[in-house]
Every structure is written in structure tokens, then in C-alpha cells.
Structure 1
Amino acid sequence: MTDDESRRRINPHLLTWPEVDPARHPFDPDDVLDLVRSVAPPVPPRPRWAGFTLVGRADAERWRESMSHALVDHYGRWASGWCWAVGESDYDGGPVYSWCCISHSIASPEETLTAVADSLGEWRAWLETVAARFDDFLPLPGPDEAPDVLIMAWEVAVAQLVNLTVGRTSSDSGWYGHCKQVLSWFLVAAGVPEDRHVPLIEHAIGGRFRSWVRPSAADVNDVAERLARRLVGESLVDSPPSVVHRDDEWPDTWPQDWPSSRTTTRGSRSRQQRRPEGRRPDDLETWQAIRARVDWASASEPVSGPVATGEDAIAEHAARRAADGPPLIAAVDQARQAAAEGGPLTFALLAHWQGTLLGVPTPAFRDGPAWAKGGRERYYWHADLPAQFKAYLLAATEDDLPLPSRAARVYLDVAFFHPFDDGNARSAMLALYYVLAREGVVLDRAAPLLRTVRQAHDRYGAAGLAKLVELLIRDTRKRMR
């Protein structure tokens, strides 16, 4: 194999849908870390900067490439995406958060191999999310259907896939490359001949997408419509002038409930209603809108406790954390004891556990804006937030919805309300743990739940989390003695 062939073999930008389709490639997330340990070459020292020179870079890059080849040898080419991190990483513009780059992610051998395993699991989970979304849209209406119906079906699919990829990549450096790739994968899954993919996608996007810029709703709609019309055989030139839209005519809730450019019922927002110029979107506001739209009653099936095997995956996860293991273990113990006593989930309980976790007096609800994911999500503040959050916590222990839906929803509530100055992801885990344990459910496996980064605007991901919790409960029940 030549050097060029070797690099192409592990370049995730070149992956095709048959190479990554999860249905074609079995994968057991529970065996990943052991597999990584068994095939990994010796981990080199972390590269260090000396002025403008990254000392040790060549050795680190060779190790990363060797690690990729080892994973590809075992799993197939799809595994090469394990290190395709968000933004300016080893490969630009990917969807992975657990790995960053050789200069930051290489640490001690065990920490490095754990990061590799986590990243591979995260990449696989993303591919499964993409495949599930494809299943939502396929099969599309047949050629005998009215052209407007077929165009609309393609528009909906393309728009939501673009927004899914925007969210996953945080519209960071080079994000649009993976967006084009996902659209090409979808065209393959939909049976569109491969020689049409590049012309269709390039015509539709037409230079609109840029690094570090989240596309406007109007841009996404235009891309979706252009691709749909070209694919179906119609031209945008035929669109009547009366439906040409301006950027400020689109509601903030797009694409859920989004209107087509052919409708006449769009409402425009007044100048006073629009966000101040330059202000980042409020991802908490987005989450609250998504929360209201998810059909939590049908997102998961009812399951009830007791369900326990004697193993506690979340407690074991806490014990494995080197940096904050002891206080996190103590907080999990407190949540377990409180769950045995019963009662609603209150902010006082959550704050007590958080104080234990952080080693501080019981913290209050934040009194200003917050952010997460390196600033890629922002959660603004207003006076009603503490009261809304407390009401959402109480709703998590009411029995009007299936247990998995309530546990998943409160997990996301804590993540996106971001009530504390630090440790909110761990607090979300504790809230979910309490809601499940209160009804006698203790998961014996939780890696898929704890490894995946959740996005505030991902409606399908929210419902999917509820289903994932249900499946983890059912899997635990199967292993009960």
C-alpha cells in the first residue's frame, strides 16, 4: 500500500454510505475499550509547543494513523471517523467531541486509549442517529406522486438533515464538508445515482455555507428547495415572484412547523421581536420550544421497576472518573438514599448533591447567562427561569408519562437550563439516576447514555434519548437473575 493509499484508507472525508451504514457493520459498544487496548500501538508522549513548533508532532500523527488502521482492520472503514473532531482538529469539521487533536487528546496511555474508545463510540452513535433519521424519511413518495408532494418530501428531508449536521458540528470550522457528505449519503440511501450527487449538492448549496457561521433558516430552506426542485426536475426560475422570501420572514421555530416558500400563511416578526443584532441564539429558549413539541407519551413505552441486576453502571462510571471520582460517588450515594425515601425531585435535593459534587456550600440557581460545549451553546437568563426549572423537576416524578420519557426529559432539562456554575452534565446524570432509582430501576449498562453529546435543538435526539433509556431498562431486565 502506498502512502497515499494508506492516508485515503483512514480519511473520514472519503467515507461512503455503504462503508458507514450501521446496518451493514455489527458493533458492540461494551467491548470497545478492551479492543482498543489490545490493538493500540504504544502511546507516544503528548506533543508540546516550543515557540511555534509542535515538538513530537510526527510521532503523534504516526500513532494516530496507526490507531486508525488498527480500528479499520477490526471494524471496517467506518471506524476511521473516530478522530474526526469538531472544528479545527486532526480532520477539519467533524461531529466527534470526545477527541480533539493530537496536541490535546494524547495524555497518559490509559487516558488516551479511553478517549479513543469514547470517540469511536460517539462516532458510531452519530452514524446510528443519521441512519435513524434516514429511516424517518424513506421511502420517499414514488415518481407517480404529484410533483409538489415529491418536492415537499425532499425539502423536509434535506432541511432537517442540514440542521441535524449543523447542530452536531456546531457550525464550526469546515462543518459544511460533513454536511455535504451526509446529504450525499442520503442520496445513496434514496437510490439517486451517484453521478448526480455532486452536481445536485453543489447547485443547491451554491457557496452559502461557511465556517463558523450557522446558516439562517432562509438559507437552509433555499438549499432544501433548490436540491428538491433540481432533483425532481423543476427549476427555481418557475417560482412565482409573490413567494420570494426575505431572511426576516422566517419564524424562530423553523424547521419544526416550518412553512414552505409556496405557502401564503407565513407571519413575519416585527422589528421589535427580532433578536438584537449580533446576539447569539438562546439555546435554552430553543430547548423549551423543542420540549413542548416532543410527544413524550409515545417517545418510549411504559416500563416499571424493580429492575436491577446488582450492578450499577452510573455508580461504576463515577468510580472510574479520576478527577472527581470520590465526590461524585458520594453524590450518587446521596441520590440513591433519597430515591429510597421517595418523594419528588426538588431543586433543594439537586443543589445538595451538587454541593457535595463540587465541594462547596449548597449552590443557588445561576443568576446570569451560561454556556457549554466551549461556548457553542448559550443559555440566557431571565427572572422566571428558577421557577420554571423547579416545576420541570417536580414533573419528572409525576406518573403521567412513561418512566423513560420522564428520566430522559429531566436529564435534558438540567443540561440545557444549566442551573449551576459548573458540573451540570454530572447534575443531569444524578437527576436521571434519581428518577429511575426512585422507581426501583438501576441500569447495569449506561455507556450509550453517558457518552453522547446532546444538542439543545435536536428534537429527534430528545425523543431518541427517551427510547434509549427504555432500551437500557429492558436490557437490564433481561440480565436479572
Structure 2
Amino acid sequence: MDPARHPFDPSDALDVVRTLAPPVPPPPAWEGSQLVGRSDVDRWRETVSHGLVDRYGRWASGWCWSQGEGDYDGGPVNGWCCASDSISSPEETLALVADSLVQWRVWLEDLTERFDRFLPLPDPDESPHALVVAWEVAVAQLVNLTVDRTSSDSGWHSHCATVLSWFLVAAGVPEDRHVTLIDDAIGGRFRSWVQPSAADVNDVAERLAQQLVAQSVADPSPLFVHARDDWPDTWPQGWPSSRTTTRLARNPQVRRLEGRNADDLATWETVRVRVDWATASEPVSGPVRTGKDAIAEHAARRPTNGARLATAVEQAGQAAAAGGPLTFALLARWQGTLLSVPPPGFRDGPAWAKGGRERYYWHAELPARFEACLLAATEDDLPLPSRAARVYLDVAFFHPFDDGNARSAMLALYFVLAREGVILDRAAPLLKTVRQAHDKYGAAGLAKLVELLIKGTRKRMRP
């Protein structure tokens, strides 16, 4: 996407578009309840895109990334909207394509000029603090710039993540780490049609900066989440693992960079009592299943130790069929299976997660408080989706084990649902979203998501 690698003369854009574009089809029209001709204009747009890419390079494919709900919503282009609404007379349509291509190119050049202001970044060996500040300034400005250019319309946060990823490339950060870094930093704060607050932008910039600087200083591995792998599998071999949460808590580098933060477990316990779990989801009940077990399939597909996790899921299902309550002893048994160790005890020290940005301190009464949370997950005073979502978050933020807590949270949720005969046939949205301890609305939203997944499974049940 770097404009310096791809020559472009905006004055030639219209002539190029006229040369490569096939005849412009008529705009689609409604005939009764059907939009006739939509497929023709979509194919025309794709043909134009392929022609522009052949002529200019892959960067040109963004010419139709429009603001709002267009063909590819959330972008910076305010000329082209979508094939259905943007096609008019042939000449006007070709002019609109050329104008949109120029808009897209100007945006890329604006970003390049902004990147050049921020780079090169300070040397981390000379001043980690200066590097943190430099990253924070760069990220905050790029987010605000993208918000302004996309008008924070539908899907704007997708383009924001792309812009941040491009800057990470320019700064030399390996590309296989971008998704995890950016997703963890944003953490669900950005939403369609909502302009982020200054506090949210600053918080995202701070989180991303701290992660990036942490990987640049000495002994960075405990701070850095590698390549979409939030579930370390090294324990007990090579213990203590560089990614183990309790070892991370004792790493002095973290405290030098970030200082002592509040206890995120205490934050979660405060949020937990403020969520109206009774209304966060509607009451649903089992049995609900289609013959497909999405969580079991997800476990079996894991490239690392998938067979052990699948066995743990099977054990959770068997325990659910027996009908007893959820206890720490059960959770520890499944944890031992997936880690191939004896059932572990509750952690005996502080723990960290999300690259060191969430911290869960230790207190002597934590095991008893956690046990009470587990027992409450199988009581009938709240809707099933709310109880399943709440126990998922309880395991994540109590962080009872030295390793594998995300998988343990999944097993707890699976048990609570299966105990009432609910086996989800789709679970990806549930398992691939970062959860934040302070996010009250995200906690309630998770309960609603579980409800929707249950209802979706029920709709797909055979009569």
C-alpha cells in the first residue's frame, strides 16, 4: 500500500478508467420485492477493481472502500457508495470511479506523510519511557485521523485496525503479531456509528504502546502475546514458562513500564454485582442441539494439544449429564486433563493476562469466593445464558490456574449449558472475542450473545 512504490498520476485516472472498464450496466431496479440487475452491477464493479489492480497495483483495490454502509463499509472514500446506488449514466459513473480512486490514493499519501512524522521511533535501549510516549502519540493521532476520515460511520473501526496495522508494518513490527496486538488494545471499545471518547482513544493508545515497548526491552517474552496464541501450552514442560501468568507477575520490567495497576479481579467483582443478569438475557431452556457440537469441534481442531482439550470437553459433558453442581474439583480435573498433569490447586500468587495489562492479585479468601461463584452457576434464579456467561467471565478473571484459564472458562460454560441439555452448533463469536474485566456492557452483551447462539441452534434443529 506504500504510495512510494506505486507511481500514480491523478490527472490520468479518468482516462485509465475509461480504457479498462467494460460497458456500464444500467442501475438495478426494484420489480415487486426483488432488486433486478444487482448481480450485473456487482460483477461490473469487480471487473473494474481487477482492472485497476492490474494497472496500478494492489493498493488500488481500496477505491470503493466507502464511508458508511457501502459495498465495503467503514472506509474513507465518500464518493462511491455501492454499485446499486452509485451507477448512473456511463460517463458520470466512470467519473465517480476515477474520483474515488483519487480520494483513496490521497488518503494513502496522507497516511504516509503522517507515518514519516512519527518514524523513526526512539531507541528502546536508551529510553523506554520516550518510546512509550512516542507510540502513544502516534497511535492516538492515527485513530483520531481515521475517525475523522471515516466519519465514525458503520464499520469504521475495521479500517482503523487496518491503518494501525500499516503503521506497525512501517515501524518494523512482525505482521503475524498485528491482529493480537490491535485486538487486545482496542478490546471492543470501538463501535459502528459511535465516535470514541478521548479517554477511550488514549486508553487504546496506552495499551498498544505498552505492549509494543514491552517486546522491545530486555526479556520481552513474558509481556508479549505471540501470534494469536492466548492459550499457552508449555506447562509443565520447561516450567516456569516465559508466558506463565504467575511468573509474569514477578517480572520487574512490567512494573517499571506500567507501575502498579488496580486489581482487575476486584474490578470484575464490582462489575459482576452491577450487571443486571436477570434481564441481560431472556430465559431459554433445553434440550437444544442439532447433532453438531461447535465447542467440541473447536477443541479438536486446536493445533496444539487439541486431543487433550477435546477429552476435557468430553469429561465436562459427562459431568453435566450426571447433573451435579459445578465445583473447583471438577474444574481442576478437566484442567489436569488438558495440561496432562495431576489436578492443580488454586494459584498461590498474583496472576497477569493480556500481555501484562490485566492483573489479578491474590488473597487468602479467593478460593472460597471462587467456589461460591461456581456453585451459583447451576442455580435456577437467573436465565441460563446469563449464568453461563457469568461463570465464563468468573473463570477468566479469577484466573484460578497458573496456565490455561481461557480453556477452563470455555469448559465451565460448556458444562453449565450441557447440564440443561444445550449443545451449541455455532460458537466462534463466543470463543474469539477479547473480554475486559471492567466492561459492564460487554459482560451483559456476552449473556445476550449466548442467548442468541442458543436460539440459533434451536432454529436449526430438525423437526
Interval of TM-score (by shorter of Structure 1 and Structure 2): 0.5 to 0.7
Aligned to 1:355: 336
Change (3 A) 1:279 1:414: same
CA shift for structure 1 position 401: 0.4
> Are the equivalent residues in 2 in contact too, given 1:15–1:77 (CA < 8 A)?
no
Q: Which among 185, 192, 197 is matched to residue 131 of structure 1?
A: 192
> One-letter code of the match for 2:409?
A
> Any idea what the Cα deviations from partners look like across 1:183-233, whole Å, max 9, x if unmatched?
xxxxxxxxxxxxxxxxxxxxxxxxxxxxxxxxxxxxxxxxxxxxxxxxxxx
Greater C-alpha radius of gyration: 2
> Any idea what the Cα deviations from partners look like across 1:50-70, whole Å, max 9, x if unmatched?
xx9xxxxxxxxxxxxxxxxxx
Aligned to 2:208: 172
Q: Which among 278, 284, 295 is matched to residue 303 of structure 1?
A: 284
Change (3 A) 1:402 1:86: farther
Q: Which among 406, 413, 424 is matched to residue 432 of structure 1?
A: 413
Distance (whole Å) between structure 2 residues aligned to residue 123 and residue 475 of structure 1: 30
Q: Which among 96, 99, 102 is matched to residue 174 of structure 2?
A: 102
Distance (whole Å) between structure 2 residues aligned to residue 280 and residue 77 of structure 1: 31
> Any idea what the Cα deviations from partners look like across 1:266-311, whole Å, max 9, x if unmatched?
xxxxxxxxxxx94222111111111111111110000000000000
Change (3 A) 1:430 1:442: same
CA shift for structure 1 position 130: 1.5
Q: Which among 368, 374, 377 is matched to residue 387 of structure 1?
A: 368
Q: Which among 317, 329, 332 is matched to residue 298 of structure 2?
A: 317
Confirm or deny that 1:20 pairs with 2:74: yes
Change (3 A) 1:346 1:88: farther
Confirm or deny that 1:445 pairs with 2:422: no
> Are the equivalent residues in 1 in contact too, given 2:155–2:192 (CA < 8 A)?
no
Change (3 A) 1:374 1:4: farther
Aligned to 1:377: 358
Aligned to 2:404: 423
Confirm or deny that 1:287 pairs with 2:366: no
> One-letter code of the match for 1:131?
S
Change (3 A) 1:450 1:400: same
Distance (whole Å) between structure 2 residues aligned to residue 88 and residue 416 of structure 1: 32
Distance (whole Å) between structure 2 residues aligned to residue 173 and residue 280 of structure 1: 16
CA shift for structure 1 position 324: 1.6
Q: What SS is found at the alignment partner of 1:90?
A: helix
> One-letter code of the match for 1:423?
G
> Any idea what the Cα deviations from partners look like across 1:253-273, whole Å, max 9, x if unmatched?
xxxxxxxxxxxxxxxxxxxxx
CA shift for structure 1 position 391: 0.3
> One-letter code of the match for 2:408?
S
CA shift for structure 1 position 384: 1.1
Confirm or deny that 1:397 pairs with 2:458: no
Aligned to 1:254: none
Distance (whole Å) between structure 1 residues aligned to residue 453 and residue 186 of structure 2: 17
Change (3 A) 1:371 1:340: same
Change (3 A) 1:120 1:316: farther
> Are the equivalent residues in 2 in contact too, given 1:415–1:425 (CA < 8 A)?
yes
> One-letter code of the match for 2:401?
F
Please report the TM-score for the alignment, with normalisation by the length of structure 1: 0.52
Please report the TM-score for the alignment, with normalisation by the length of structure 2: 0.54
Aligned to 1:58: none
Distance (whole Å) between structure 1 residues aligned to residue 399 and residue 167 of structure 2: 26
Paired positions, count: 286
Matches within 5 A, 1:256-275: none
Distance (whole Å) between structure 2 residues aligned to residue 332 and residue 422 of structure 1: 17
Change (3 A) 1:89 1:281: farther
Matches within 5 A, 1:36-185: 80=159, 89-90=168-169, 102-105=174-177, 126=188, 130-131=191-192, 134=194, 161-162=197-198, 171-173=207-209
Distance (whole Å) between structure 2 residues aligned to residue 366 and residue 123 of structure 1: 26
CA shift for structure 1 position 356: 0.4
CA shift for structure 1 position 87: 12
> One-letter code of the match for 2:436?
Q
Change (3 A) 1:319 1:101: farther
Identity %: 61
Q: What SS is found at the alignment partner of 2:334?
A: helix
> Are the equivalent residues in 2 in contact too, given 1:319–1:326 (CA < 8 A)?
yes
Change (3 A) 1:451 1:351: same
> Are the equivalent residues in 1 in contact too, given 2:67–2:74 (CA < 8 A)?
yes
> One-letter code of the match for 2:191?
V
> Any idea what the Cα deviations from partners look like across 1:375-413, whole Å, max 9, x if unmatched?
111111111111110000000000100000000000000
Structure 1 gaps, min length 5? 26-51, 53-74, 93-99, 107-114, 135-156, 176-276
CA shift for structure 1 position 422: 0.3
Aligned to 1:44: none
List structure 1 segments (4+ residues) > 3 angstroms apart after TM superposition.
1-11, 14-19, 75-92, 100-106, 118-127, 161-170
Distance (whole Å) between structure 1 residues aligned to residue 200 and residue 385 of structure 2: 23
Distance (whole Å) between structure 1 residues aligned to residue 275 and residue 354 of structure 2: 23
- Indicate the RMSD between aligned Cα atoms, in angstroms: 4.1
CA shift for structure 1 position 89: 3.5
Change (3 A) 1:76 1:345: closer
Change (3 A) 1:346 1:360: same
Change (3 A) 1:374 1:476: same
> Any idea what the Cα deviations from partners look like across 1:226-259, whole Å, max 9, x if unmatched?
xxxxxxxxxxxxxxxxxxxxxxxxxxxxxxxxxx
CA shift for structure 1 position 90: 3.4
> Are the equivalent residues in 2 in contact too, given 1:86–1:169 (CA < 8 A)?
no
Q: What SS is found at the alignment partner of 2:359?
A: strand
> Are the equivalent residues in 2 in contact too, given 1:10–1:77 (CA < 8 A)?
no
Distance (whole Å) between structure 1 residues aligned to residue 66 and residue 184 of structure 2: 17
Change (3 A) 1:171 1:429: same
> Are the equivalent residues in 2 in contact too, given 1:82–1:119 (CA < 8 A)?
no
Distance (whole Å) between structure 2 residues aligned to residue 163 and residue 370 of structure 1: 26
> Are the equivalent residues in 2 in contact too, given 1:397–1:435 (CA < 8 A)?
yes
CA shift for structure 1 position 20: 2.2
> One-letter code of the match for 1:172?
L
> One-letter code of the match for 2:265?
L
Change (3 A) 1:174 1:7: farther
Q: What SS is found at the alignment partner of 1:130?
A: coil
Distance (whole Å) between structure 1 residues aligned to residue 287 and residue 186 of structure 2: 31
Distance (whole Å) between structure 2 residues aligned to residue 76 and residue 296 of structure 1: 29
